[in-house]
Structure 1
Amino acid sequence: MNRKISVAISDVSNKNWPFEGLKELIDFLKAEAKYWEEKRAAISPQNNTSNVHKHLDAHGILSNAVSTIEGWENILDSWDENQLNQQLNNLFQSISLQSSWLWSGHPFSNQFIKCYEIFGENAATAFLDLILRKQASNITNGESFLGSVLAYEFLNQDSNLTKRHISEQASLEHLRSTLDETTTQLIGKVESFTDNFSNWDTEIKNGWQDWLINTAKDFKTSQDTNKEGFNKYMKDCETRVSDLENTYQEKLRLEKPATYWKKAAKKYGFQGGLWFLALVSFVLLGILYFRDLYVSWLGGHEIAMNVNTIQGVVIFGSILAIYAFLVRTLSRLIFSSFHLMRDAEERELLTYLYLSLSKDREIGEASRDIVLQALFSRSETGLLASESGPTMPGIGELFKHSQK
């Protein structure tokens, strides 16, 4: 309820107290109510009647004022400063605060209470009349006369002292007034500091709570991202390990055939070389033999085989036919050996190509069947014209099937 106000209250002595904060006003009224309630309760039993001096009973008015102001808590926000000031002024006028309340800080307040406690209500009333209004009322009454005398003594108790004492008393009065004003300002500053601190504390708590929530969200997001990445990485690793295992198994299955085809290529190459040497030697021998025979025939020498007779022609033709057949046979053996060597080399190359494609997962079941059929099919020797086997697949055909 720390609303800004601009209200002033006065007591029976016409002393004025301005207030700029609602909380400051409430604390002031509570302090005054507590003071007069304690003084009222401390009065001796013979004077503690229900009909007491109105200033001693001011705690009731002050407490009612505090209760009324605190009861406005739910509707304070609907009033602006001017409306709140008007409500407070109306409240103080309705309870007659100025005519019923005597400030506890007056130098004569305590003397007033003692006068009432010792001499009664009439003496206390006469005491205040002389102190506040400079009037001596009803001095024919003994109690009133005593009250006036006590007031006179209070007002003139230092009249025979030096001016220094009077100056010091004035200084003390000034200090009292200054202390009262400073206390009022301090209360307002403390209330303002309390509100600012409460707002700061609320902002810090809210900021801390928001930070905790955002940090938890960021951590969960980061954890989910890392978990997803880790799971993906593990899945890729498992797939790669599986592919490597499959490739290794394929390698184990095809390593021996590849080695065999490599050795077979070397063997067929060596055989082809031998057959080629045999063919060259046989052709050279035939050329030398027929050259000698031809030279002898041209020279008119007698030769063992006479071609002038039918028998000689038949024998000579048979020799030529056998020679041609042997040359043709050796030629076919040479071509067959080199053909088988080339076939073995292609099978070896196809094996490693198949392993490479299997490693990179670029070969499907159709391509695999084609490759395996080609690798393990019967080879053509080239010696027989009617023999035929599966055609060795080309690289383009293999890639074509692997992309399907």
Structure 2
Amino acid sequence: MTDKELIKIVTESKYSNSYKEFNCNFNFEYVDYNETFTGLDNVYKYITTQIKGWESYEQTLPPVFQNSKAYFISIRDSINSLIEQDDKINESGIINRLSSINNTINYIRDKPFPYHISQTIFLIEIFNKRREAFHGAYHFLTNNIQSVSFTNNKNTFIGVLLAYEYSIKDESDIYKRSKSEKRSLTQLRNEFLDKINDSEINLNKYYENTYDNYNKHTELIDDLKDSKETSFNDWFSETKEKFESFYSISNEKKTELENTYHDLLKLQAPAQYWKQRATILKKEGRKFMFLLISLVLIGSISLYLLLWHTPEDMLKSIFDGEKTKAIRWSIVFITFISFLFFGIRAVTKAMFSSYHLARDAEEREHLSFFYLSLLKESSVDKEDRQLILQSLFSRSDSGLLKEDSSPTMPGGINNIIGGNH
């Protein structure tokens, strides 16, 4: 666990006050070292610094300093165990665990050393340069000289002597200046540590404020999210209903248009036929009209010629009493007039019949499109549809035959034309 992670957990914990009020003292009297810390995060930061410091030594360390590293690791593990169970124990359990951590800190049976003090650096140098003298120097600096045996062991004596010279260095001017400088450095270090502690406090306060603001913004975002989700769901439901209604209406309209289009395809050919038929009948009517005019002109001219330019033999025979000749001319004249009248009457009837059929074809064409418009605008009942289709496909009265009838449309045609409705 990193320092930042622990600070985050301590700040967010409901027992943060207990963590911040935690106080411990690292008192190593045998090397004249005393350090006090307030706040579990500051203790943890100091512990991790000591562990990293011991791990930073590349050279081989004496076994007693291995114990020092293990001492700080045991404290770190106790703090990690407490933080991991923060949400599982109550406040009294937290206080008991903090007291247990304090006991671990005060339990210094193996005489642990901080990695950065001058005694540690001095002993590591002795161990690396004169390893045989390390035992004497170590026991001298830790006030355990009574356990040192000088019998037949000059290296032990050398180690004690080196430690003695190290311990009286303050009596010379050089060592006094060194001590003064050390004191100045220590003061600067303490001031620096105070600044760090103040910065940590400010950082913790800033983190708390940031965390509170984060929670508030999170709540606002959640509220906004819920509001937007509600609005979206309402909008989606309303839009879905409108779309379903629109789709239903459009589908019905599409079906109606498809049916109308099918009817158009069914009636398009008959309507085209009736249009062409009307054109042909009009042309025939005009031909009959020209023929009628021609016959009338021929008859008029013939009558004129017969009446005004009668042969003298014919008039003479009539008035002279030649009855046979007169009857013969009368029969010829009456026959000519009869044939002329019959031709004019036949042509007239054919002409009017053509115009009549042409007009009927045009009306059927218009009726077809009228029927389609009815289908498009509104629904047509089955009976009305049969009447319209009967009018469209019934036989027309030409006028050429006497009592020409218009029979109803056969049922098969009705099924063919209107079967899909």
- TM-score, with normalisation over the residues of structure 1? 0.49
